[in-house]
Amino acid sequence: MKQQLYLWRKIKDKGMSQLIGLSALMMVGILFLILGYIFIKGVSALNWDFFTQLPKPVGEAGGGMANAIVGSFILLGLACSFSLPLGILAGIYLSEFGRNQLGTTVRFAADLLTGLPSIVVGIFIYTLIVLPMKGFSAIAGGIALGIIMVPVITRTTEEMMKIIPLTIREAALALGIREWRTILSVVLPAALPGIITGIMLAIARAAGETAPLLFTALGNRFWHSGLDQPIAALPLQIFTYAISPYEDWHAQAWAGALVLIILVLGLSIATRFLTRGRYYFMR
Amino acid sequence: MFRKLTLILLLLFLLALIGCGKPATRPILINGAGATFPYPLYSKWFDEYAKIRPEIRFNYQSIGSGAGIRQIIERTVDFGATDAPMTDEQLQRAKAEILHIPTVLGAVVVTYNIPELTKPLQLTPETLSAIFLGHLTRWNDSRLVKTNPGVALPDKEITIVRRSDGSGTTFVFTDYLSSISSEWQTKVGKGTAVNWPSGIGAKGNEGVAGQVKQIPYSIGYVELAYAIQSKLGYAAIQNKDGKFVLPTLESITEAAAATAATIPPDLRTSIINPPGEKAYPIAAYTYILVYKEQDDPMKGKAIAEFLWWAFHRGEKYAADLLYAPLPQNVVKLTEAKIKAISYQGKPLL
């Protein structure tokens, strides 16, 4: 009897751990399935021209998305230029001074903002910037992407700074270091790898967004001609090509998707590389 | 650590700065947005035009007919584009006169997936409306058998695929159904998005084409180019003169030619169900929308010159991309419209 119970427990244990393991494997499998599918579909249309040429009209072979790739970088640069300072500073406030009514409100607002459908951000910026400026522009697109990034950056900055042990702050304060200096030179650097991961997550999310760009950056068939003019972006170009009836445009859309994924992947691998092995106590 | 972060930030800023750096000779950029349907042709036109006039760049983005109309009203673009002409109410909101310049013709085709079928299905207005109203539900219905003599129609249920998003294609198709069926007109009506009696929704022309391709014994409606590019079958529709006509570039142009005599002066018109033996009954103009009175003489002149070029040199690219050219008599009317584009009351062309 006792032996039997033992066996049954053993079976349950083995079965459950295998189920969990299988689930984990499946999750990774889905990722590789998507990556592999996009790779197979996209790699055939990928060549040097894709990175150096402007899009070609239907019926002409070749052509690329060079303008969209550069455009995406410019838009992300613009988005970062205001969302990084804003997000990080707001995150510092929440973590260090946010134990009050205002902090709770800001935290709640940031969570709401994270869940905001990105098309709503696009329409908001359209009414706020595009209409008064009488035109679509790279600036409007950059701000729309920035708004999507801010709450993610704010919340990760807060969480990352909160997990820095209190003892470290106390050690700094005990040495007579002022509070602002402690935050800036002790807590922030320790939390930086986590914050940077959060930033990368935000950039990766913004890089793939189409909806907020439709009515802000609009898209451009040519090289950008100034930040006050419409600008091309990879997701927009992929979208336009994917809904067309033409095979060669579909192939270009797949290649665009592949490039987008590689860019995002490359970006996060690069940051991991830059920030690795720094703060041991985080492990 | 900080140094590296600063480095990353600096790099990002540099990238943004490259964006600010203006090329030595900044070309005039003319922005347009609107209908998805003519996007392949317009992008071909603008590409060819850039070769002969490199100092002018036309940037056209396909954001949909409704959005195109809205953008030209708000003046966020230099020209708009739409498949359905603007309504009186929309024109009023624009505050200044907007010209409708038809560029090419498009047709909505009834596409289907019946693996057994070897020749095009023939549909009468009655059977077509009955199918989409949900009254005719099987492919071997006696009404369908009657109009398709000698064709073995399968004993299968009809699956209807329709658009789930607002679209000029839906407008043209429901405009047709409303004109031939009073029941459709009262029950469903016409519009860019309607309350469909039945069917599976799909987004965009490519969505409908994809669904029809995947679901055997389904029926849907798409722009001609999508049916041909997706290698789907499409039906011959019985026109006003009682002839079954397949959508071809000739039969579509014929539909416009048949109604050219009665076209209103502002060229806003429907060419649904026209008279004429060879005319395909579900066709429509697609328009470019421009303000008659331009704010910027340089841009206005560039637009007028481009449109003139499109009608005289650009039309030859249309047929290759499955767009039907305008009939000659409509081209004449359109030329007068292009010549009316002016700056401070003076024509620009």
Q: Are residues B204 and B143 in the same domain?
A: yes
CA dihedral A240, A243, A248, A250 (to 10 degrees): 100
Tell whether B328 is covered by a domain.
yes
The minimum CA-CA distance between A162 and chain B, rounded to whole Å, is 19
Over 90: is that where the pLDDT of B230 sits? no
Q: Note the pLDDT tens digit of each residue in A4-55.
A: 888 999 999 999 999 999 999 999 999 899 999 999 999 988 889 899 999 9
Q: How many CB pairs below 8 A link A and B?
A: 135
CB contact under 8 A, B63 and A215: yes
A48-282: in CATH 3.30.365.10: no
Q: Note the pLDDT tens digit of each residue in A187-244.
A: 999 998 889 889 998 999 999 999 999 999 999 988 888 899 999 999 999 998 988 8
Interface check for A231 against chain B (CB to CB < 8 A): the answer is yes
Tell whether B322 is covered by a domain.
yes
Kindly give the pairing relationship between strand B236-238 and strand B122-123: parallel
Chain B residues touching A211 at Cβ < 8 A = none
ipTM for the assembly: 0.80
Give every strand in the sheet of B236-238, ordered side by side.
B122-123, B236-238, B244-245
CATH code: domain of residue B152: 3.40.190.10
Interface check for A282 against chain B (CB to CB < 8 A): the answer is no
Q: Are residues B129 and B243 in the same domain?
A: yes
- State the pTM of this model: 0.84
Q: Are residues B252 and B127 in the same domain?
A: yes
Average model confidence (pLDDT) across chain A: 90
Nearest by CB to residue B44, choosing from A57, A136, A220, is A57
Over 80: is that where the pLDDT of B301 sits? yes
pLDDT at B22: 45
Q: Note the pLDDT tens digit of each residue in A104-122.
A: 999 999 999 999 999 999 9
Q: Note the pLDDT tens digit of each residue in A137-156.
A: 999 999 999 999 999 999 99
Q: Are residues B99 and B111 in the same domain?
A: no
pLDDT tier at A283 (50, 70, 90 boundaries)?
Answer: very low
Q: Are residues B116 and B169 in the same domain?
A: yes
Tell me how far apart the alpha carbons of residues A252 and A237 are, in angstroms, rounded to a whole number.
9
pLDDT at A269: 84
Average model confidence (pLDDT) across chain B: 89
Cα dihedral A19, A25, A28, A31 sign: negative
Asked if A210 and A228 touch (Cβ cutoff 8 Å), the reply is no
CB contact under 8 A, B19 and A138: yes
Residue whose C-alpha is closest to residue B324's, from B101, B105, B109:
B105
| Average pLDDT estimate for B142-160 | 92
Stretch 75-134 of chain A: residues touching chain B, C-beta under 8 Å: 76-78, 80-81, 84, 130-131, 134
Interface check for A189 against chain B (CB to CB < 8 A): the answer is yes
Tell whether B50 is covered by a domain.
yes
pLDDT tier at B25 (50, 70, 90 boundaries)?
Answer: low
Percent of chain B with pLDDT over 90: 64
Interface test with B, best of A54, A56, A58 (most B CBs within 10 A): A58
HEC profile for B198-244? CCEEECHHHHHHHHHHHCCCEEEEEEHHHHHHCCCEECEEECCCCCE
**What residue has token string 């009316």?**
B340
Interface check for A254 against chain B (CB to CB < 8 A): the answer is no
Contacts of A94 (CB under 8 A, 6+ apart): A103, A106, A107, A110, A154, A157, A158
The distance in angstroms from the start CA to the end CA of chain B is 62
Interface test with A, best of B3, B4, B61 (most A CBs within 10 A): B61
Q: Are residues B41 and B127 in the same domain?
A: no
Tell whether B278 is covered by a domain.
no
CB contact under 8 A, B27 and A59: no
Q: Are residues B209 and B331 in the same domain?
A: no
Tell whether B243 is covered by a domain.
yes
Nearest by CB to residue B33, choosing from A58, A60, A218, is A218
- B151: tokens are 């064709």
> DSSP secondary structure string, B64-115?
-HHHHHHHHHHTSSSEEEESSPPPHHHHHHTSS-EEEEEEEEEEEEEEE--T
Q: Are residues B175 and B243 in the same domain?
A: yes
Domain that holds residue B317: 29-105+284-347
Other residues' Cβ atoms within 10 Å of the Cβ of residue B7: 11
Could you give the 3-state DSSP secondary structure of residue B57?
strand
Residue whose C-alpha is closest to residue A224's, from B26, B128, B288, B315:
B26
Q: Are residues B61 and B95 in the same domain?
A: yes
| Average pLDDT estimate for A69-86 | 95
Q: Are residues B112 and B256 in the same domain?
A: yes
Q: Are residues B115 and B97 in the same domain?
A: no
Over 90: is that where the pLDDT of B108 sits? yes
Residue whose C-alpha is closest to residue A119's, from A148, A90, A82:
A148
Task: List the domain boundaries for chain A.
Answer: 2-45, 48-282
Total count of domains within chain B: 2
Q: Are residues B183 and B295 in the same domain?
A: no
CB contact under 8 A, A226 and B36: no
Kindly give the pairing relationship between strand B56-62 and strand B122-123: unpaired
| Average pLDDT estimate for A61-82 | 92
Tell me how far apart the alpha carbons of residues A111 and A2 are, in angstroms, rounded to a whole number.
52
